[in-house]
A and B are shown apart, each in its own frame.
Chain A
């Protein structure tokens, strides 16, 4: 993810806030959260990945947060 951040910066493209948060001091939050998120969104479930992505996007919108 850090490499992608650097590539975006080199192209003068803004790096999203969430990507910054996940990249900075990843041992504190980004790494364990990404593992959790991967399991929750893409792990075995009665819901499809798309449905779970939709749930997350809906909750983010109610929190007035970009997803």
Chain B
């Protein structure tokens, strides 16, 4: 990535993942990674994410516009506060956005067409 933007992306990532909040940074980082895996069409390992979070992260990563009040209510019913949901949503969006940026830059520098890989 252009060095000019590296600092900006690094600061954004640190803010979303490391800022004090309701959720642990480890959970936010796991959400970020799952969203990136979903967005790259890799088979995501279920890993550490609770099932209700995994389903939400996948939707945010692939079809964010399809999220509904019911999706949020499911997380609320599972015990997550609105602040926690805010943090997890940003973490998922971060993972999805950053993998798209990486893929775009890879294509710019002559990388393989990702659509040919699947």
A, B from the same assembly: yes
B interface majority secondary structure: helix
Q: Please list the residues of chain A having a beta carbon within 8 angstroms of any beta carbon in chain B.
A: 24-25, 27-29, 31-33, 35-36, 39-40, 43, 63-65
17 pairs across A/B with beta carbons < 8 Å? A25-B19, A25-B86, A28-B16, A28-B87, A28-B90, A29-B15, A32-B11, A32-B15, A35-B8, A36-B5, A36-B9, A36-B12, A39-B4, A43-B4, A63-B64, A63-B65, A64-B65
Binary contact readout B1-33 vs A (1 if CB under 8 angstroms, 0 otherwise)? 000110011011001100101000000000000
Given contacts A24-B86, A25-B86, A27-B19, contact A32 B8 (CB under 8 A): yes
Total residues of chain B contacting the partner, CB 8 A: 16
Contact surface of B with A, Cβ cutoff 8 Å: 4-5, 8-9, 11-12, 15-16, 19, 21, 64-65, 83, 86-87, 90
